[in-house]
Amino acid sequence: MIAEIERIEVIIEEFLTLAKSKKETAYKPKQLCRILQHVALLLNTHASYRDCQITTDLTAVDAWIYCEENALKQVFINVIQNAIESMTRGTVHISLKTEGSLAVVEITDEGCGMEESVLQKIGEPFFSTKETGTGLGLMISYKIIEQHKGKMTFTSKIGLGTKVEIMLPIVLNCEKES
């Protein structure tokens, strides 16, 4: 009974996050590589527990974006946790590059991969491939990226893993915060 109550609590928290996302949020300029470094550090223990590692290639790009930092962290945590959970051992690689006026975050894993039919359903409410998944995490992540005027795409091959690309507009001229 306690496990089911905890599951209901998670679902309610996800609904509350979705409901909160409709209000206006104060976006501030933030350095994207710092956000990604913080998330990677946060998830290293979870990765180690599953005999996985997280590698990064973030230092070459100094991309600043307007964002609500905690919302973006939620997206990156969700995507990286999904990557870790798709493997029994392996590597999740996080990289950052720029393409024109966009910062592009690539998160790749060496997991089991997904069929095209599954890829087409990613982000739909209540769709999950996990036994205990609510099917709300990626739906909320898509919404957060959309609110940041960005885009998120998935490519995957069975047995080879999955790549998630998150594209966000770069701040060109502003007073930057750390």
Q: Quote the pLDDT of residue 116.
A: 84
- pTM of the predicted model as reported, rounded to 2 decimal places: 0.81
Tell me if 136 sits within 8 A of 14, measured CB to CB: yes
Cα–Cα distance between 119 and 2 in angstroms, integer? 33
Q: How confident is the model at residue 149 (pLDDT cuts 50, 70, 90)?
A: very high
**Residue 135: left (phi > 0), alpha (psi -120 to 50), or beta?**
left
Give tens-digit pLDDT for 107-138.
Answer: 999 988 888 887 787 766 665 666 666 566 78
| CATH number at 2-169 | 3.30.565.10
In the chain, alpha helices (H): 2-20, 32-49, 69-85, 116-119, 137-147
